[in-house]
Chains A and B, each alone.
Chain A
Amino acid sequence: MAEAGKVASGLGLPGEVSQWPLKRYGRFMLLHTGESPDPGSEADVGSSPTWKVFESSEETGPLVLTIVVSGHFFISQGQTLLEGFSLIGSKSWLKIVRREDCLLFGTTIKSRSRMFRVQFSGESKEEALAHCCSCVKTLAQYITVQEPDSTFQQLQQSPGPLQ
């Protein structure tokens, strides 16, 4: 009855929850400079693309990406929820691309789009990469994660530099 399955180590969480530590989380936004000389031209005129970046730190608390086996996806920092949605049936409005130890998310709901991205953390770049790939594996149960970065796979296949 109380068989715990796979318990996330050290987190004291039930086994149906997977969590990964994030180094950074960024929300894409267009800041309007208010200096658009020609409002009739393409939408980018007068606005500059910016990322509002959140970092894991002592003061602000660690950023965590959580996937519950129910298909719920969360990004939180301390007691603040930054992202929360269901991955079930998300193919129609969500797309994800991996770049090294980062994931880029694009959503479109009610003809409004937004982007956010995360960078995984780890003791080393390799560990961060491993966290990212493990998260992609879990995400892949619900949605396709594009991996246009084919050089990464080549790197993985070749033995790393031994000193």
Chain B
Amino acid sequence: PCPPGTPRKSMQSIPHYLQIKEILLISDQELLPCHVMEHHWKFYVNCKKLPF
């Protein structure tokens, strides 16, 4: 069951003026269990700076 307004759905309507020809998909390594992301999220939110 996909909640309304998920990315999957809206990606299908890309305005033509963006001239999009390809989409960089999300790799498996980017997908984390929620609690793992939460852990890293806290770290970055509490960082003085987001070190790029």
Which residues from chain A sit less than 8 Å from chain B, CB to CB? 13-14, 17, 24, 26-32, 43-44, 49, 51-53, 66, 68, 72, 74, 76, 79-86, 88-90, 92-93, 95, 97, 99-100, 102, 104, 106-115, 117, 119, 146, 148
| A114 touching B13, Cβ below 8 Å | no
Q: Which residues of A contact B50 (CB under 8 A)?
A: 99-100, 102, 104, 117, 119
| A30 touching B29, Cβ below 8 Å | yes
| B31 touching A114, Cβ below 8 Å | yes
| A85 touching B13, Cβ below 8 Å | no
Mark interface residues in B5-47 (1 if CB within 8 Å of A CB, else 0). 1110111011101111111101101111111111111001111
The chain B residue with its CB closest to the CB of A119 is B52
Tell me the bound Cα distance from A89 to B18 in angstroms. 23
Tell me the bound Cα distance from A26 to B36 in angstroms. 18
The chain A residue with its CB closest to the CB of B36 is A43
Interface pairs (24), CB distance under 8 Å: A13-B17, A29-B27, A31-B29, A52-B30, A76-B20, A83-B7, A85-B5, A86-B10, A90-B5, A104-B44, A104-B45, A106-B37, A106-B41, A109-B6, A110-B2, A112-B34, A113-B31, A113-B36, A114-B26, A114-B30, A117-B44, A117-B50, A117-B52, A148-B46
| B34 touching A81, Cβ below 8 Å | no
A74-B37 contact in complex given A89-B4, A90-B5, A93-B6, C-beta closer than 8 Å: no
